Structure 1
Amino acid sequence: MTLMSLRKMTDFLPGILVVAILAAFARPAAAGLTYLGSLNGFSGQASPMVFTDELVAVNGDTATHIWRKNDLGSLPVFVGPPDIGRQRNQVGLARKGDYVFAGAYGYKKETMGSLITIDVSDPTDVHVVNTWEPEGIKFGRLIRRGNVLYSAFHFVGLATIDITDPLDPQFLDVYGSIEDEFNGTDNIALHGDYIFAGTNEDRVDIYNVADPGDIQKVGSINTDSGNRWISIHNDHLYVGHERGIAYRIVDIYDISDMSDIQQVGHYDAHFSATCHSFAFSGDYAFFVENHSYQWSRGSFGIHMVDISDPTNPVQTDFFDTSELGQLYGDLGGCGIDGDRLYVPNYARDMIMVFEISGAQAPEPSAWAMAVMGLAGAGALIRRRRRG
């Protein structure tokens, strides 16, 4: 090697050093979950939760539980359930501005359902402002789009409600009849003008809600077992099974083309179990595994799964709730707020709180700087030497 070629190589050494340093900072941290602690004051099974800038709200069996976020960054502080009486089976929760809507149902036909409106504008004075108990309707999971609230007509069908005035909700349409109870709908997910409804049976029903006042059932997806939970992320439908089949607890469908829905992947658990809820952050999904059917091998908990390729979901972390001394699953509907994952644990009357790490992709600017460093830094030094 000549002296001239050595000099040319040294011209690039500063740039190479810049690449190494910046690439190290740009590389995403290892994806994982860190248990931070628990929120107490909770009881009953839990459903999806909603968040405001200052509050965490979770539905339990009999009340909507509220925690106020701590300005110091520690765990939220329990505010208490609003005084709403004992509403059996509160499973729906949605938010519109300063109001949170809580939906309730009862397993028996004669049990009245209710939609409760809670004012959360003042975190120090959370209170109920309206309770609506329409005859013959039971409220399940809730989704809001604009001034329309979509509700699983629990075990029956689908309802649309006008909440332009949060204190005076009005029905737009109802698909199904109370006489059809236990025929189906349990969980719902919104995708454009379509609602996907898990049925707790062997199918997911599809409704066209382009006109909220005229619900149209347009099809179904056949599944292998009851659908404990469904959710949509990046044009893919995730279906959690009531009980895993051959260790498979989540099926994944491509719904980017509504005229040609295809199953493209599935996620396997440790053993046959129920997938009780999902949450998503970037390219990661969090699957809550619950109620194992092989108790002797029990390891219930939260799967952190890389879903950047939905055809090949890959587990990156798993938190085994037996580490908390828990013998059974009993984990409820989870939710994500920023870099925190909240998972209700109704066997122990608490909300488990985790910090999520590595769920975001590296900043493109860092990689761009690294590439520029190779040519830019070397060129700058060469110019200085020549000058």
Structure 2
Amino acid sequence: MGRNSSSENAWRVGVLFSQTGVTAVIEKSQLNGALLAIEEINEGGGVHGREIEPVIYDPGSVVARYGELAEHLLTEDDVNVIFGCYMSSSRKEVLPVIERRNALFFYPTLYEGFEYSANVIYGGAAPNQNSVPLASYLMENFGSRFYFVGSDYIYPRESNRVMRNVVRQGGGEVVGERYVTLEAGPHDFDKILEDVRAQAPDVIFSTVVGTGTINLYRAYLRTGGDGKRVPIASLTTNEAEVAEMGPEAAAGHITAAPYFRNIQSEANRRFLERYQRRFGTLDDVTSCCEAAYFQAHMFANALRATGSMDTDRLRSALQGADFDAPQGRVKIDPDNNHTYLQSRIGRVDDLGEYVVEMEVGRAIKPDPYLVTPALNDWSIRLMPPREGLITL
């Protein structure tokens, strides 16, 4: 799908999330989050009396297509700002296109860190905001023996490298590490899970993404795995995938994220009410969806301040900007274009809902290069959630 309207007066932005393919389960939620924010902005009168017009394309979860469509947006659709991508491999396809043409790219997804671009606003968690708190929680509550299972591309391998170093800092060990293709089916995990049983880890750390996540958790249950005894812990598994795999397969498993949909805040209540009204469900509301939502609003605020789509002016307005997001107050760090985010640990209950068990008491400054990792002195302390949860 291309341009949504023919308005010549609109502020046009590119929206590049997959609606088909293996990562569609997550990217559809990101698309919805971005579109909901844009609709709210337009209903409020737009920006300086002009609506924001999304120009939407579906890359079909094909990595090369993200770069091709980004090029098309910038050259054929007269777009200078793009929201998009879930996988790091797709971000890497878009990045040189964005930089070459000095456009602005909003990336609303957690990632492996160790990257900076002046043309990217990073809205998802960096490793110090999710990997470090998760490792701390797991080692204190389950044990020090980890088994890694991941999809075979950039993010899982790099995320596992980071987690391996963090675990070793805390005195733990990685007893196994295996990878599957992005198209991994229900039985592609059977031999891996045999090895898991043989190695007897205290926890499984999963960087499997897309439909493979659902297949892994179901296979774990089918082969006798018990999430309440030896959980699968992840940075990527979320509410949309839990809804698809079912509560029996999800119960007991753990995710670290800045946002879970049932956290208590007035901003989150408003967000969920509008999302339910617009899309008819809350099943696919995820941390990545919430990030796409607040990034679109932060872009609109910067556009109000500048009255211009010029990349340099927008970037200047965005650096240091904050926003009352559904997760809590967030801020774009002028040092690195990443975002100060909340940090929470959620565990799935028997009804298939995440229960926030622990959270860091403040938004964490992003440290994408782990210059000052906190695990070595355990200075980031987790605490029980400060407030109750929204009942869905």
**TM-score over 0.5 for the alignment?**
no
Q: TM-score, normalised by structure 1?
A: 0.31
Q: Which structure has more helix as a fraction of its residues? A: 2
Q: TM-score, normalised by structure 2?
A: 0.30
Larger radius of gyration: 1
